[in-house]
Amino acid sequence: MNARTLCLSILYDCEATGYEIRKQSTEGDYSYFVHVSYGAIYPALAKLEQEGLVSVRVEAQDGKPSKKIYSINETGKREFLDSLLDPIAPDIRKSAFMLVAHFAREIPKDLMIQRIEERIAEHSQELETIQKIGETHDGPADSWIIDYCCTCIQASLHYLRTNKEALIGLTKSDDEQKITPAQPTIAAE
């Protein structure tokens, strides 16, 4: 999904500013399937306006800078809906963690532990965020998506917790700290 589609999809449901769209994509409802920055959103919005798919209304605020509130029009809705019917690309994943895991034999044990705990912490954090979103607003489709995401993250989390020792066991042990059973507690959960 590109910046253009992101804008259209958020505007489909309600008016928004560029600032708000970015927030949704990075911290809000959309954050589990897209991350887009200002540098992509503002130009996309400007182009959508040029093309006549959305309209703008400027709202002055005292103290804060004035907002440009974008609304989608019928043409915009139609184009967006049409694009929803297009064939979709398979999910894209990019994981630096997997590369580190692949080279476990070359990673110092302590660093491997750190990377795993970081990943566990990230996942836990993500779970919390998503569940919080699920509590606030609840279209049935969003509930479905949230549930789906949670299921996947939980499976990942469970695997990591159950099998982390195996991966740690594959690391380079420069010292002879090898079979120490004590488990360090780096990231709280």
Partner DNA sequence: TCGCACATGTAACGTGTTACATGATTAG
Partner DNA sequence: CTAATCATGTAACACGTTACATGTGCGA
Contact between 84 and a copy of itself by CB under 8 A: the answer reads: yes
The footprint of DNA (CB under 7 A) covers 1-4, 17-20, 23, 35-40, 42-46, 61-69
Strand 67-72 relative to strand 54-59, pairing: antiparallel
Using CA atoms, how far residue 181 sits from 75, 117, 174, 184, in Å, is 64, 17, 17, 10
Residue 109's binding partner among a copy of itself, DNA, none (Cβ under 5 to 8 angstroms by kind) is none
* Phi and psi angles of residue 104, each rounded to the nearest 5 degrees, phi first: -45, -45
Contact between 85 and a copy of itself by CB under 8 A: the answer reads: yes
Secondary structure element (H or E) that encloses residue 67, with its range: strand 67-72
Is-contact 168 182, C-beta < 8 A? no
* Phi and psi angles of residue 100, each rounded to the nearest 5 degrees, phi first: -60, -45
Token digits of residue 38: 């200002």
Instruction: Please identify which residue in 40, 56, 69, 170 interacts with a copy of itself, judged by CB under 8 A.
Output: 170
Using CA atoms, how far residue 125 sits from 140, 161, 186, in Å, is 23, 15, 15
Instruction: Please identify which residue in 115, 117, 130, 133 interacts with a copy of itself, judged by CB under 8 A.
Output: 115
Binding mask 20-59 for a copy of itself (x = CB under 8 A): ------------xxxx------------------------
- The closest alpha carbon to 122, from 130, 111, 132, belongs to 130
Instruction: Please identify which residue in 62, 63, 65, 94 interacts with a copy of itself, judged by CB under 8 A.
Output: 94
Least distance from C-beta 38 to DNA, angstroms? 5
Residues that bind a copy of itself (CB under 8 A): 1, 5, 9, 12, 32-35, 81, 84-85, 88-108, 111, 115, 118, 122, 139-142, 144-145, 147-148, 151-152, 154-156, 158-160, 163, 166-167, 170
